[in-house]
């Protein structure tokens, strides 16, 4: 775990930043922060009238030596952004100023506080979660420890415990049962036979907690007689593979390589498809072997598959529900071919700043908002009013018809998709149900559109503050001359698109470029990098 608690300099704790991923760094630097997070969670609970606040101890897709913590609000959503700076103040202040700092951030007056703690499988997660507990209890909070769980399971537990979603009887507030109930309801709308020749999915669990969730789902699928439709085979389970090392969603999606430790049977069997989750199971990417290459189906294509399906069902249900809005939210890093594919099918595409919390917020503007980052983190959000209307219509007796069938499908989607956070296990069941309903193979899904070749580079600069991106980080507000140069360079390549954005942690500018051919994408990225060097104070040798 690192240095003994008594030897830590409490007057000079590590200075940490609370970002989209919460606090995350080498585990040895987190002992003090974990205690303070427990205290902050207790204060946040009081601020929310005593409702339960969640604390998840995890570093997600990071290496095993790292750890981190995420705070979950009562609805199951990520911590409100206004409290992120408070988390930093509490975690980083000297011990002599702790009481004063806690008093300065406290807002609520509820008499009681309640905190729910979960953790991933890292060797140091148990000890760190105990520090969270100690901090919460020091401020009088009641603590419920749900043990080893995926991050989405922790979000579900908090949401359900506070009454923001129906609770199905069972462990972890009925998480697995609720998912399989919704999956089965969606499958029942299919006119096709229940069995599938390609029912097996190999799930690369990244050596992390996802294996426990897959085991729970597999057992319930078998109990319901659904194994002929979906049979899950877990690979890279805990202790079989080093956490996130050459396996998992981050490795597969970024390196474009198959996960390690899988047998030929797992990788090359006819009709077999696989998917990878990350260390805390909030990301999902699919993969399969094509005629000659290892093929990846990433978050862009998950969003495209689901959005087109939902658009069709919304149109069919129009006589009963009117015309709810549907939109897909992407970041600038989404492949341009994905946006073109969706717009051709009259699905609105919106952009948000890079980061899950920004994309999630933008998706909430639609009645049905679909968001997936290319790394596989995403979900389908359905507004409460529409969910209630679908539930009402689905429960009413009546004759069949296409509109009523569509209502049943949309209601099942709303029940299955995690309404709080990206959820690899929920997304897996949702994807599998849609593929089954459409009788679509993974190869056909992967061929929805041809991705444009892309390239990412970075360039050191004297100060990243010189670059000011717009709200969606798709263009620069300043320097204007640099944006004009990028526009001209992109226009010189067929299907060219490029943008630059300053790093959030170092004086580096990140460059993204895509074009019709690999050669043009590489050339455009290099040209834009040179422009950054020339017009934004680049350091080192000119590229």
Catalytic residues: 60
Q: Please state, in angstroms and rounded to a whole number, the distance separating the CA atoms of residues 453 and 416.
A: 33
Which helix (H) or strand (E) covers residue 477, if one does?
strand 476-478
* Sequence-distant (≥ 6) Cβ neighbours of residue 483 within 8 angstroms: 475, 476, 477
Contact 210, 245 (CB under 8 A): no
- Residue 453 assigned as binding residue: no
The DSSP code for 5 is: G
Nearest to 388 by CA among 434, 321, 317: 321
- Residue 394 assigned as binding residue: no
Q: Please state, in angstroms and rounded to a whole number, the distance separating the CA atoms of residues 338 and 349.
A: 10
- Residue 502 assigned as binding residue: yes
Alpha carbon of residue 408 to chain centroid? 26
- Given strand 497-502, what is the order of strands in its sheet? 454-460, 508-514, 497-502
- Residue 177 assigned as binding residue: no
- Residue 199 assigned as binding residue: no
CA atoms within 13 A on the CB side of 276: 38
Alpha carbon of residue 464 to chain centroid? 27
- Residue 278 assigned as binding residue: yes
- Residue 280 assigned as binding residue: yes
- Residue 145 assigned as binding residue: no
Q: Please state, in angstroms and rounded to a whole number, the distance separating the CA atoms of residues 70 and 59.
A: 9
Integer CA distances (angstroms), 319 to 310, 406, 410, 419, in order = 16, 10, 14, 26
Contact 102, 64 (CB under 8 A): no
Angle (deg, nearest 10), helices 299-316 and 402-416: 140
The DSSP code for 538 is: B
Helix, strand, coil in percent for the chain, rounding step 5: 45, 20, 40
* Sequence-distant (≥ 6) Cβ neighbours of residue 308 within 8 angstroms: 342, 345, 347
Burial of 441 (0-12, 13-18, 19+ CB in 10 A): middle
Burial of 527 (0-12, 13-18, 19+ CB in 10 A): buried
Place of tokens 């226009």: 491
Contact 260, 337 (CB under 8 A): no
- Residue 236 assigned as binding residue: no
Strands 66-72 and 23-26: antiparallel
Strands in 257-390 per DSSP E: 273-277, 284-289, 294-297, 326-330, 348-351, 368-372, 378-382
- Residue 505 assigned as binding residue: yes
Q: From the annotation, which residues make up the binding site for substrate?
A: 373-375, 501-505, 510
Q: From the annotation, which residues make up the binding site for Mg(2+)?
A: 60, 278, 280, 282
Q: From the annotation, which residues make up the binding site?
A: 60, 278, 280, 282, 373-375, 501-505, 510
């Amino acid at each position: 775990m690192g240095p003994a608690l008594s030897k830590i300099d409490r007057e000079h704790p590590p200075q940490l930043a609370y970002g989209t991923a919460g606090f995350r760094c080498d585990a040895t630097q987190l002992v003090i922060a974990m205690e303070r997070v427990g205290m902050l969670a207790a204060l946040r609970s009081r601020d929310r009238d005593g409702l339960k606040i969640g604390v998840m101890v995890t570093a997600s897709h990071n290496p095993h030596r790292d750890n981190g913590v995420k705070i979950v609000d009562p609805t199951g959503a990520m911590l409100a952004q206004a409290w992120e700076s408070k988390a930093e103040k509490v975690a980083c202040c000297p011990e002599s100023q702790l009481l004063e700092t806690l008093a300065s951030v406290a807002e609520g007056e509820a008499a009681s506080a309640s905190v729910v703690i979960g953790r991933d499988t890292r060797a140091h997660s148990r000890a760190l979660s105990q520090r969270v507990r100690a901090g919460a209890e020091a401020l009088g909070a009641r603590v419920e420890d749900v043990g080893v769980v995926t991050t989405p399971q922790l979000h579900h537990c908090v949401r359900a415990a506070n009454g923001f979603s129906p609770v199905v009887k069972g462990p972890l507030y009925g998480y697995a049962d609720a998912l399989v109930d919704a999956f089965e309801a969606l499958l029942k709308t299919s006119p096709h036979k229940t069995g599938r020749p390609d029912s097996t999915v190999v799930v690369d669990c990244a050596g992390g907690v996802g294996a426990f969730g897959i085991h729970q789902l597999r057992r319930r699928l078998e109990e319901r007689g659904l194994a002929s439709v979906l049979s899950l085979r877990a690979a890279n389970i805990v202790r079989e593979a080093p956490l996130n090392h050459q396996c998992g969603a981050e490795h597969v999606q970024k390196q474009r390589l198959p996960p390690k430790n899988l047998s030929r049977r797992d990788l090359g069997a006819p009709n077999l498809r696989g998917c990878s989750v990350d260390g805390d199971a909030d990301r999902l990417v699919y993969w399969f072997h094509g005629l000659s290459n290892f093929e990846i189906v990433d978050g862009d294509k998950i969003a495209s598959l689901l959005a087109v399906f939902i658009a069709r069902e919304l149109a069919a249900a129009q006589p009963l529900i009117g015309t709810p809005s549907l939109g897909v939210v992407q970041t600038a890093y989404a492949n341009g071919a994905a946006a073109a594919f969706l717009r051709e099918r009259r699905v609105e595409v919106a952009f948000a700043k890079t980061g899950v919390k920004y994309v999630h917020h933008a998706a909430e503007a639609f009645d049905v908002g679909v968001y997936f980052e290319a790394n596989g983190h995403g979900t389908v959000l359905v507004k409460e009013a529409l969910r209630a209307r679908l539930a009402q219509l689905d429960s009413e007796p009546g004759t069949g018809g296409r509109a009523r069938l569509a209502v049943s499908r949309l209601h099942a989607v709303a029940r299955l998709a995690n309404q709080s956070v990206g959820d690899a296990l929920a997304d897996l069941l949702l994807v599998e149900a849609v593929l089954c309903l459409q009788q679509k193979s993974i190869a056909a899904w992967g061929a929805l559109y041809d991705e444009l070749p892309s390239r990412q580079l970075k360039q050191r600069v004297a100060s990243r503050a010189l670059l000011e991106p717009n709200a969606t980080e798709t263009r620069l507000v300043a320097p204007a001359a640099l944006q004009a140069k990028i526009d001209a360079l992109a226009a010189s390549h067929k299907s060219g698109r490029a943008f630059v954005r300053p790093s959030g942690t170092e004086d580096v500018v990140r460059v993204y470029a895509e074009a019709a051919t690999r050669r043009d994408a590489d050339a455009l990225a290099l040209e834009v990098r040179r422009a950054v060097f020339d017009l934004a104070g680049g350091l080192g040798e000119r590229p």
